[in-house]
């Protein structure tokens, strides 16, 4: 890899491969680290309406309208194709009456006319389907991208209470239901409109017989209304239970190590089986409703056909109607049957799409708790002074984790925050990066309230290494360069060395190009944490938070990391959250927390000598009880 190679994962992680067109030259150049090629899809052109009072289809309409060129082409070509199809029975009527009966027209001429009309109908039909699917897949890609963009916008509190499986279901099966209806329903409407043209031809042939053929229309309308009312509830239940299955599968895949550790495979299989059975019940109920209502929609037109055959045959026998006319009439009736049969499908698709759309809107109508204030400004020329000014904070409706928390960190200073489990240590890091907003007091950087700063510049200035290192399923190089896609190879290697990760990386078969497994589980916990540290060091933030970042690393490796970190920490403000004495030794000052309050502050030696709680916490950590 040449120096300065862009990180393809970071640049194109949000893209999808659903675009129907082939990859562009740029897409070929930016290949997937896993070996594939990214499509030329560039993101959605329009947003879903935020007006909650609108009908669901009106909210989706801007996305569909953004592809109006292909959509209109599909509708127009479909209309043209169907119009030419309606000409065939009329030509057949003329062929029988003028060629076979009266011999006034050449059979060859009539056959050529029918062939020309058929070819035109076929070509326009093929093009129509091409543009329909092009529109459908682009709309689906847009909807999926919009949901993902919104999910990235939402705050941490949203993910604290929503199951990932529910999100996955809404971003897949629910989107597919909405996409199918929004693109195919207009085509069904066009098909129904063609029925009007066919009826006009029928009127031109014989008015009384045409009226007899349409006698079942009012009954079909009533059946369609009732069918729509009974299908919506079961459609909602089906989509919700599919989401439950997705949640269980997601939990079992991500928690497979826990499942196997406790030998709970059978219990989890049973849990999934119960959820699958509930989905099966919903599908069976859906099938039962279809079995009751679909025959009405599909077979009522047959009644019209029977009436036409009866009265039309009587009129032919009586000499009031030509043989070609009755054959054309039957052909038009067969054309009318297609819209009638699609009517039931349209109702079922519509109710499922409505249920799915409302489930999608449950996500899109969520607003983040943490937003930029009007007039928010960038954090520039960061010195690194940090102040927690009488901060109060609690998660949701739970009791406050931090109570009147006060602390000040000088620029370039390294402090350690120590406390029992649940005392609020990690919460301090989350508030400084503004993952959550304080409920009382203020958090300031260089005198600026973090709530007055733009989120991008704030989080670019605050680097956080969490205790649970998360890696993406891409190469180690791309994981380290995640925050700086333009980093050179030399910079990536330097960051790895600073985190004491270079040695084990270079021993891997593909070195820095080694692709890690999902969440990085092909590496040990200590290796994952070292890569996570390297990822943060590469960004080189002026403020660094190490949230128990070396907890999964053995003492020998930790000491080597600390030796590399000491030189780096001298040039930045650092907050170390830890239990180990070796990690605490990085700090020049220690802040002791207990039940969300600062109970003591001073050097390690001072707290050991004056604060029994501090010595007790360290003793418990050494014994492995925390």
pLDDT in tens, 3-22: 333 333 333 333 333 333 33
Tokens of 189: 């409407």
Which CATH number goes with the domain that contains 226?
A: 1.20.1560.10
Total residue length of the chain: 626
CA distance 537 to 494: 9
CA distance 442 to 283: 53
For residues 260-271, average pLDDT = 71
Q: Which of 507, 514, 499 is nearest to 557 (CA)?
A: 499
Instruction: Give the model's pLDDT for residue 458.
Output: 92
Q: Do 341 and 400 fall into the same domain?
A: no
Q: Do 351 and 424 fall into the same domain?
A: no
CA distance 600 to 609: 12
What would you report as the CA-atom Rg of the chain, rounded to the nearest whole angstrom?
Answer: 34
Evaluate whether residue 71 is within a structural domain: yes
Q: What does the DSSP assignment read for 31-66?
A: B-TTS-B-------SS-----TTS-HHHHHHHHHHT
Least confident of 44-48, 303-307, 344-348, 419-423: 344-348
pLDDT surpassing 60 at residue 361: yes
Find the helix packing angle between 175-205 and 323-364, rounded to 10°: 160
Instruction: Give the model's pLDDT for residue 408.
Output: 92
Evaluate whether residue 83 is within a structural domain: yes
Contacts 24+ apart (CB under 8 A), 272-280: 272/245, 272/248, 275/241, 275/244, 275/245, 275/248, 276/245, 278/241, 278/244, 279/238, 279/241, 279/242, 279/244, 279/245
Q: Give, in order, the Cα–Cα distances in Å from 146 to each of 46, 64, 435, 467.
A: 9, 13, 22, 31
Q: Please give the mean pLDDT across all residues of the chain.
A: 78
Q: Do 278 and 147 fall into the same domain?
A: yes
Beta carbons within 8 Å of 284's beta carbon, 6+ residues apart? none
pLDDT in tens, 173-223: 788 888 888 877 887 778 777 777 778 878 887 888 888 877 777 777 677
Q: Which of 451, 358, 369 is nearest to 153 (CA)?
A: 369
Q: Do 66 and 182 fall into the same domain?
A: yes
Q: Which residue has the higher pLDDT, 557 or 311?
A: 311
Do residues 313 and 326 lie in contact, with contact meaning Cβ atoms separated by under 8 Å?
Answer: yes
Instruction: Give the model's pLDDT for residue 13.
Output: 34
Instruction: Give the model's pLDDT for residue 551.
Output: 60
Question: Which residue range is the domain that position 284 belongs to?
Answer: 56-364
Instruction: Give the model's pLDDT for residue 424.
Output: 86
Evaluate whether residue 463 is within a structural domain: no
pLDDT in tens, 284-310: 888 888 787 777 766 776 777 777 778
Q: Give, in order, the Cα–Cα distances in Å from 407 to each of 104, 379, 432, 575.
A: 103, 21, 12, 11
Q: Do 446 and 312 fall into the same domain?
A: no
Evaluate whether residue 492 is within a structural domain: no
pLDDT surpassing 90 at residue 442: yes
At residue 445, what are phi and psi to the nearest 5 degrees? -125, 120
pLDDT in tens, 50-66: 888 888 888 888 888 88
Do residues 539 and 484 lie in contact, with contact meaning Cβ atoms separated by under 8 Å?
Answer: yes
Instruction: Give the model's pLDDT for residue 103.
Output: 56
Evaluate whether residue 88 is within a structural domain: yes
Instruction: Tell me the pLDDT band of 624, cut-offs 50, 70 and 90.
Output: low
Q: Do 313 and 414 fall into the same domain?
A: no
Q: Where is the domain boundary, 304, 332, 364?
A: 364
Q: Which residue has the higher pLDDT, 46 or 74?
A: 74
Instruction: Give the model's pLDDT for residue 270.
Output: 81
Q: Do 236 and 323 fall into the same domain?
A: yes
pLDDT surpassing 50 at residue 146: yes
Tell me whether strands 543-547 and 462-465 are parallel, antiparallel or unpaired: parallel
Chain centroid to CA 560: 41
Q: Where is the domain boundary, 330, 364, 398?
A: 364
Evaluate whether residue 221 is within a structural domain: yes
Q: Do 394 and 247 fall into the same domain?
A: no
Q: Where is the domain boundary, 364, 398, 430?
A: 364
Instruction: Tell me the pLDDT band of 106, cut-offs 50, 70 and 90.
Output: low
Q: DSSP secondary-structure letter at 453? A: B
Q: DSSP secondary-structure letter at 409? A: E
Evaluate whether residue 181 is within a structural domain: yes
Instruction: Tell me the pLDDT band of 90, cut-offs 50, 70 and 90.
Output: confident
Do residues 96 and 36 lie in contact, with contact meaning Cβ atoms separated by under 8 Å?
Answer: no
- CA angle, 453 then 458 then 462, to 5°: 150
Evaluate whether residue 592 is within a structural domain: yes
Q: Do 276 and 387 fall into the same domain?
A: no
Which CATH number goes with the domain that contains 415?
A: 3.40.50.300
Q: DSSP secondary-structure letter at 108? A: H
Do residues 479 and 535 lie in contact, with contact meaning Cβ atoms separated by under 8 Å?
Answer: yes
pLDDT in tens, 545-601: 888 766 656 666 666 667 666 766 777 899 988 777 777 888 889 999 988 889 999
Q: Do 358 and 401 fall into the same domain?
A: no
Instruction: Give the model's pLDDT for residue 212.
Output: 80
Instruction: Give the model's pLDDT for residue 256.
Output: 61
- Alpha-carbon dihedral sign for residues 371, 376, 379, 383: negative
Least confident of 11-15, 238-242, 466-470: 11-15
pLDDT surpassing 50 at residue 32: no
Strands (E), 80-179: none
CA distance 277 to 271: 10
For residues 321-350, average pLDDT = 71
Do residues 493 and 542 lie in contact, with contact meaning Cβ atoms separated by under 8 Å?
Answer: no
Q: Do 212 and 349 fall into the same domain?
A: yes
**How many domains does the chain contain in total?**
2
Q: Do 322 and 428 fall into the same domain?
A: no
CA distance 336 to 198: 7
Instruction: Give the model's pLDDT for residue 38.
Output: 41
């Amino acid at each position: 890899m040449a120096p300065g190679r862009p990180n393809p994962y970071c640049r194109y992680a949000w893209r999808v491969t659903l675009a129907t067109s082939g990859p562009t030259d740029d897409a070929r150049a930016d290949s997937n680290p896993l070996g594939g090629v990214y499509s030329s899809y560039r993101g959605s052109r329009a947003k879903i309406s935020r007006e909650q009072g609108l009908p669901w289809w009106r909210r989706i309409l801007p996305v569909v309208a953004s592809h109006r060129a292909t959509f209109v082409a599909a509708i127009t070509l479909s209309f043209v194709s169907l119009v030419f199809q309606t000409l065939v029975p009329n030509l057949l009527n003329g062929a029988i009456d003028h060629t076979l009966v009266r011999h006034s027209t050449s059979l060859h001429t009539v056959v050529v006319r029918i062939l020309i009309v058929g070819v035109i109908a076929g070509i326009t039909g093929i093009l129509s389907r091409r543009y329909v699917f092009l529109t459908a897949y682009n709309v689906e890609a847009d909807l999926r991208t919009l949901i993902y963009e919104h999910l990235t916008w939402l705050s941490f509190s949203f993910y604290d209470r929503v199951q990932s499986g529910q999100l996955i279901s809404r971003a897949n099966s629910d989107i597919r239901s909405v996409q199918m209806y929004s693109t195919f329903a207009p085509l069904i409407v066009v098909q129904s409109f063609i029925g009007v043209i066919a009826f006009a031809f029928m009127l031109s042939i014989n008015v009384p017989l045409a009226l007899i053929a349409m006698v079942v229309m009012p009954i079909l309308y009533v059946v369609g209304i009732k069918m729509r009312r009974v299908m919506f509830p079961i459609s909602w239940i089906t989509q919700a239970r599919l989401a439950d299955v997705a949640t269980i599968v997601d939990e079992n895949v991500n928690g497979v190590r826990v499942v196997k550790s406790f030998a709970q495979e059978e219990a989890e299989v049973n849990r999934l089986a119960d959820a699958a059975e509930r989905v099966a019940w919903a599908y069976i109920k859906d099938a039962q409703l279809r079995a009751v209502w679909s025959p009405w929609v599909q077979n009522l037109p047959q009644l019209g056909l029977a009436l036409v055959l009866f009265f039309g045959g009587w009129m032919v026998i009586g000499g009031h109607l030509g043989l070609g006319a009755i054959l054309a009439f039957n052909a038009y009736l067969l054309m009318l049957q297609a819209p009638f049969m699609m009517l039931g499908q349209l109702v079922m698709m519509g109710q499922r799409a409505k249920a799915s759309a409302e489930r999608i809107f449950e996500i899109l109508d969520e607003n983040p708790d943490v937003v930029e204030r009007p007039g928010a400004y960038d954090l520039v020329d960061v010195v690194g002074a940090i102040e927690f000014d009488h901060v109060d904070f609690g998660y949701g409706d739970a009791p406050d984790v931090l109570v009147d928390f006060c602390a000040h960190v000088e620029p370039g200073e390294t402090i350690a925050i120590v406390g029992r489990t649940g005392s609020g240590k990690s919460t301090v890091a989350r508030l400084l990066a503004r993952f959550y907003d304080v409920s009382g007091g203020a958090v300031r950087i260089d005198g600026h309230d973090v709530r007055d700063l733009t989120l991008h510049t704030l989080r670019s200035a605050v680097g956080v290494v969490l205790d649970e290192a998360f890696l993406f399923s891409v190469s180690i190089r791309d994981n380290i360069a995640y925050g700086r896609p333009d980093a050179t190879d030399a910079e990536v290697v330097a960051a790895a060395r600073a985190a004491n990760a270079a040695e084990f990386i270079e021993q891997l078969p593909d070195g820095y190009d080694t692709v890690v497994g999902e969440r990085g589980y092909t590496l040990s916990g200590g290796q994952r944490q070292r890569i996570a540290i390297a990822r943060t060091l590469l960004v080189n933030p002026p403020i660094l938070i190490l949230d128990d970042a070396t907890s999964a690393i053995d003492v020998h490796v930790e000491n080597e990391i600390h030796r590399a970190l000491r030189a780096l920490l001298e040039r930045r403000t650092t907050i170390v959250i830890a239990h180990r004495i070796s990690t605490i030794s990085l700090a020049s000052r220690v802040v002791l927390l207990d039940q969300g309050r600062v109970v003591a502050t001073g050097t390690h030696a001072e707290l050991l000598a004056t604060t029994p709680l501090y010595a007790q916490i360290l003793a418990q950590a050494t014994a492995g009880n925390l």
